Amino acid sequence: MKEQQIKIIQEARENQIRWLNRFFVIPKKGKGKWLKIIDCSELNEQLQEEIFKMDDIHILRGIKNQNDWMIKIDIESTYHHFQDNSNLRDFLRFNLKGILFRYVTMPQDIKRTPLIIQKILIKVMQFFRETMQLRRIANSEKLIFFNQDKELLTQQIPAIRRKLNSLGWIIAEEKSCLIPNQQVEFLGWRINSLEDRIQMTTER
């Protein structure tokens, strides 16, 4: 299994099992591939609710400027880049074809995971603001950067890549736009900085 090869999951012994979650797969929309789901609904009921705010379209409206140049980056499987060193690991078990596995990274199905990821992203995006004076937004695995100077933004792209790669994050090239543009789609919105307009996409 790919997840086992890249150390997202590992085989578990029966004496390690405290909790067994339901596991199933669903088809990915329009991709001919399958998405693996670990059902953590019962476990989530036992976890304390934590309220937090993610960057969204309202924050984007406040930081973008007319005639901005933009790049967007999609991080591949953001959640799996972080080791789960908490005691929750003992509750992240599932059975696949008679073999017991457990997650060693953070599965996206745990309700506290987005909060932890966003806290980490805030620090990373703060680095870009302080070192490159970049306006930027991070929403889970989706990042967008703004600069009025196209040439400068182009020069900053390799440094952005290096920083993300140094964290072990993989850029999903096919979902990203790494050539500065004045029209991009982000979080289901079409941003046109030339006309200073934001519109909902048909997919949204």
Distance in angstroms (rounded) separating the CA atoms of residues 119 and 54: 10
pLDDT at 78: 62
Q: Which residue has the higher pLDDT, 45 or 111?
A: 45
Residue 55: pLDDT band (50, 70, 90) is: confident
Residues 6 or more apart whose CB falls under 8 angstroms from that of 11 comprise: 4, 99, 100, 101
Q: What is the rounded average pLDDT of the residues 183-200? A: 94
Q: What is the rounded average pLDDT of the residues 156-184? A: 94
pLDDT at 73: 97
Residue 7 has pLDDT above 80, yes or no: no
How many domains does the chain fold into?
Answer: 1
Q: How far apart are the first and last CA of the chain?
A: 33
Residue 17: pLDDT band (50, 70, 90) is: low
Q: What is the mean pLDDT of the chain?
A: 83
pLDDT at 12: 77
pLDDT at 178: 97
Residues 6 or more apart whose CB falls under 8 angstroms from that of 56 comprise: 139, 187
pLDDT at 45: 80
Note whether 106 and 8 are within 8 A (CB): no
CATH code, domain carrying 24 = 3.30.70.270
- Domain around 174: 2-200
pLDDT at 198: 93
Residue 148 has pLDDT above 90, yes or no: yes
Residue 145 has pLDDT above 70, yes or no: yes
pLDDT at 15: 66
Note whether 48 and 59 are within 8 A (CB): no
Residue 2 has pLDDT above 70, yes or no: no
pLDDT at 79: 60
